[in-house]
Amino acid sequence: MSAEQSEWKNKLFFGDNLEILRTHISDDSVDLIYLDPPFNSHATYTMLFQEKTGERPAAQITAFEDTWHWRPESENAFGEVVKGSSGGLSGLLHSFRAFLGSDDMMAYLTMMAIRLRELHRVLKKTGTLYLHCDPAASHYLKLLLDAVFGMKNYRNEIVWCYAGGGIPKKDFPRKHDVIFRYTKSDAYLYKPVYRPYTPGTIQRGRTKVKGKYAEAGLRPGGTSVNDWWTDVPKIASPTDPEKLGYPTQKPEALLERILQASSNEHDLVLDPFCGCGTTVAVAERLNRRWIGIDIACPAIELIIRRLQHPLLSSFEIIGLPKGPESAKTLVGASRHQFEGWV
């Protein structure tokens, strides 16, 4: 570990990740980025304050609204991206707008485009980005990623399959998420991940139809994990010990797999939409350095409680009000978030 790494203090930011990326994170400094951005599902997330049983308490505060609308800030962001980007991203956004108009989805894609450009800037040449989404907007997001990172740096479309939840009457049940994996160059880190063989494979071994692989026998570490993941269960049960009551919470096993495949100990991991903090908690446990960012004050408070454990290293909290003046600043920026902080 370098002297710079040994002096590093993990950082948890409260605020708009676009502003924080631009003012606090330098070029080519991050080894791994995982983001699970809001999916434009038009849900208002109040579940952060529910009990693990799912029951609503008597008082409840809305954490944030996963709803995007075309507003003046969307127009400004659109203009900034199309003027400051190469032909690929600029042309793509113009095409999106010609097709979608100035609707909610266009506002969402504009928000993502301007942030993906910053994430590309801060990622190291050897780094990897994982973007987690559901199929509602995945087709648009992949085109954005192609435009920002380059088609040649597309590596995988990982399909995370899971069970649980309701069953619709007029559609096949929607039981998967998509995770796009992109790198910044060909010089990226990747460590294969293995899973145990099935009992049938262990019993029969490698058959002759495997050709030269039959002679090698079974690998001690198991078989390689493919780009469809069925062995990581979703947090669904209200009695799940990991469950924190946060609506977009992902299981720690999912982040463990990603971090182990694309980072080493002491590498820097960034989650710009860190929610309840699963990425930073796993990074902490796996001895990675980390930066977490979230715009919802209650989410930051939840992460602080999650990480305040005697075995965890110290971390720096940036952006929460520390006195009357900074509290007034938060009121001016967002009365909604100020209420959450109070």
Measured in degrees and rounded to the nearest 5, phi and psi for residue 50 equal -85, 160
pLDDT in tens, 313-330: 678 989 877 666 656 666
pLDDT in tens, 70-103: 999 999 999 999 998 777 999 999 999 999 999 9
Alpha carbon distance 151, 339 (integer Å) = 43
Q: Which of 298, 303, 331 is nearest to 63 (CA)?
A: 298
Q: Which of 295, 299, 301 is nearest to 247 (CA)?
A: 299
Q: Which of 8, 1, 32 is nearest to 270 (CA)?
A: 32
**CA distances to 39, 163, 249 from 175, in Å:** 15, 6, 16
pLDDT in tens, 159-182: 999 987 788 999 999 999 999 999
The rounded mean pLDDT for the chain is: 84
Task: Give this prediction's pTM.
Answer: 0.86
- Residues 6 or more apart whose Cβ sits within 8 Å of residue 64: 38, 45, 295, 296, 299
**CA distances to 72, 98, 278, 320 from 324, in Å:** 30, 46, 31, 12
**CA distances to 73, 133, 138, 146, 180 from 106, in Å:** 12, 16, 13, 17, 20
Alpha carbon distance 31, 270 (integer Å) = 8
- Amino acid 320: pLDDT: 77
* pLDDT tier for residue 5 given thresholds of 50, 70 and 90: low
**Domains of the chain, CATH where assigned:** 3-189+232-341 (3.40.50.150), 193-226 (no CATH)
Q: What angle do CA 61, 235, 165 make, to 5 degrees?
A: 90
